[in-house]
Amino acid sequence: MTPSPVLVLLLKIFLCTSLSGLAFWIVDYSLHRGWSNALGRTLLVKSFLLLGLLGLSALSVFLNLNRNTSIAVAWLQVALLALIGPVMVWRSLVFRRVARATRRCPNGHVVSALAIYCPRCGEPISAQGRRAD
């Protein structure tokens, strides 16, 4: 079965926009030191894995280079897919650790490290005073 030319064109357009958008996000996030904390590092690793998988899809669509035509591409795809699960578990563990951490609002109430506003008084939460359990 041959795919519709419209479908192939849309696939090419959206692969290009997805790859460029993700690459832009990685560069922007890196320049703003998003990797400076554990949660940010997990986001970058996950984004690089996604970039690799999108890149393999682009190779398949634009160059007809895929797991059926190249053993190297097949192994790369298997490796990328194998890493996604452990990276997501790592992200979950880091998120739980961050969520358990606490800090104080300006009025001294203990709030979650993820809180933006104090649930008791409504004051905005600053990054100072953060402590881990």
| 102-121 tens-digit pLDDT | 888 888 888 888 788 898 99
Give me 94's structure tokens: 């880091």
- List Cβ neighbours of 132 (8 Å cut-off, separation of 6 or more): 97, 100, 101
H/E stretch holding 116 reads none
End-to-end CA distance of the chain: 58
Say what the pLDDT of residue 36 is: 87
Residues of the chain with pLDDT under 50: 129-133
- Name the pTM for this structure: 0.76
Longest CA span, the chain: 67
Say what the pLDDT of residue 116 is: 86
Give me 51's structure tokens: 């970039």
Dump strand ranges (E) for 1-133: 102-104, 110-112
CB 130 within 8 A of CB 101: yes
